[in-house]
Structure 1
Amino acid sequence: MFDYETLKIIWWLLVGVLLIGFAIMDGHDMGVGTLLPFAGRNDEERRVIINTVGPHWDGNQVWFITGGGAIFAAWPLVYATAFSGFYWAMLAVLWALFFRPVGFDYRSKIHNATWRSTWDWGLFIGGAVPPLIYGVAFGNLLQGVPFYFENTLVSHYTGSFWQLLNPFALLCGVVSTAMITMHGAIYLAHRTEGDIQRRARTAALLFGLVMLLGFTAAGIWIAAGDFGYAITSVVDAAAQPDPLAKTVVRQPGAWLANYAAAPATLVVPALAYAGAALALFAVLRGRTLSAFVASSFAITGVIGTAGVSMFPFVMPSSTVPGASLTVWDAVSSQRTLGIMFWATLIFMPVIVAYTSWAYKVMAGKVTTAWLRENEHSAY
């Protein structure tokens, strides 16, 4: 069995892997949903687009459920505090996600233009809103979330929903939305032909550039901004978790300290730039599968940059910095982390194997001819 400190680090990495897996797997079908009303110019084209992700989108929700469950079990204080502070934002994500199962299943059941157009825009909402809100949430985490703990560790959120929609957080929302839409556009280009593929490639180039510009602007803002947090007291990484047993100060530029202390970590933001650049180059050359792989690396770099920059912080507090939640003091017991680690080691390969098999079986181009041949089973 691993010692407590090692398990804390392992679960910081595993939560990151699950969030990245969710962004890559569920992200590309959200990106396709975002593009649906624009890349498809008529009902037949929109049905082609829907069927590129139709067989897989619900299976990809496993990453969403697993990621949320892992945060709940590994970082219970983070889960409780985030859901109380981001309550209305989380509800907005949930309401947007409602459109997806209903939209996919009911959209083509009735041959009515108004009915189908309504669900097309519903699928757009279900694809565009969650990445935007996730990005806004990360933007607020980087600035610090207004909360504090009582002595009994009951958390209190001192901000408001509208306070979450600040300029930096909205910029992070733009980065997240552009990143996911680029990823979905590349997948759509890989699975289609003709006019739809051409529009998808154009969208991938556009949103890829927006992502790169937004990611750069966010980095400059962090470097020049007045937010950042640092622990000034001695931390016993192997101790039992107590989020109130440390001293934290706001320190501008603190989010860059890890890169100075460990220059090798610069490979993470570099991966975001290299992955996006290679993805756009591959799209221009028509190598859509290579572009999808490169886009996945870009997503890894963007999310990983947030994680590396904030480490060991997970949810810093702008109200009482000393109440900030970190990798060391927001976790479950050693036994819980150990049991979860072995469960993950067993079931994660099963999820990856099942997903790989499903995509292999459903591989190939989705065209109007394919749609007519499979009218009995297509969405």
Structure 2
Amino acid sequence: MIWIVLAILLAVILALLLALRAEDLSHLDRDELPPCDRKPSDQHEEVLAKLRELTSSARGLKGKARLYALRRHMDTLSDGIPLSSEFRPSGAGEPRGEWVIAPGTDTSRRILYIHGGAWVAGSPRSHRAITDQLSRVANAAVFAVDYRLMPEHRYIDGLRDCRNAYRWILDHGPDGDQPASFVVVAGDSAGGSHTLVLLAWARDRGLRQADAAIALSPSTDLTLTAPSNRNNIGTDPLLGPTFGGLSRIPLPVLWWASYAAFRVPPASPLASPLRGNLANLPPTLVHASDCEMLLDNARRYVARARDAGSPAELHTWPGMVHVWHIFAPLLPEAEEAFDDIGRFLHQLAPAGKPSATVEQARKTS
């Protein structure tokens, strides 16, 4: 009897090892980054001070107390910043989140924004500095989805909230039922991962695809095999102190731990969009800092998307912290990044001009 149990246990272990096994994607590291001859602005030091406040807010705490302290501090990141948009919570029966509407915005142009925070923290409130700027540069109403977070909920629950929000904004705006004329999906870090996963899901479901996507310092590969995950620990003032210690743990152990936490294999496209089918996706703009741990997550995703025939661009900034966009308008480089996003979107569909998707729908109706 014991031999039967051992055989079953061995079969289960082998099946899990196969599920966790990650394809070698080192061939995607072929493109060298252009040399940067510019140093960060003086305001970058103020940003580093704010990051030290963030990390110290949970010092000495453990478990849930540490997590809740981190969440509370993140929700204050946009406090005191001059924001010009209206922030309107969603109503009963609608996806949880808030509409962010800059003055004079064309509300038929819409952005679904998915915040970062390692899937365990963050909220629409914590990322208002980003959504306020996005609404302005895109002349679009931004819906910041308040998706369910781990560990109170499963990883897939948060992803499903993003899917539901995407379906909803296609036909609903801040002022009621109205088809969208232009749709963008955007997110940062963990939310950047959800953004890229969502694009493939919409394609596979035959839904109207987004007209564009924006991923800011995205996580694209939970297998942690990209070189910058280790090489940039010392130069990443946000992720380095938090996740740098993981580099001392063997990858198979990390994969098992990731599988236990996410209930999804780390090599699954549901958690690692880099490892899915990247063909027939909308134009995608990816931002990353040249010194952050997730740099090669961004580089590899763009390289593989291009290999699959999907239009994708990677724009990098020298010496910036992870998701430096959240420090607008304090940080000049954040302002530059939003101007870059505005140019990217304007090339696809200038404000006031319907997107190609809508034009095609009109012609066939």
Q: Which has the higher contact order (CA 8 A, sep 6+)?
A: 1
TM-score normalized with structure 2 length: 0.30
TM-score normalized with structure 1 length: 0.29
Rg comparison, structure with higher value: 1
| Higher helix residue share | 1
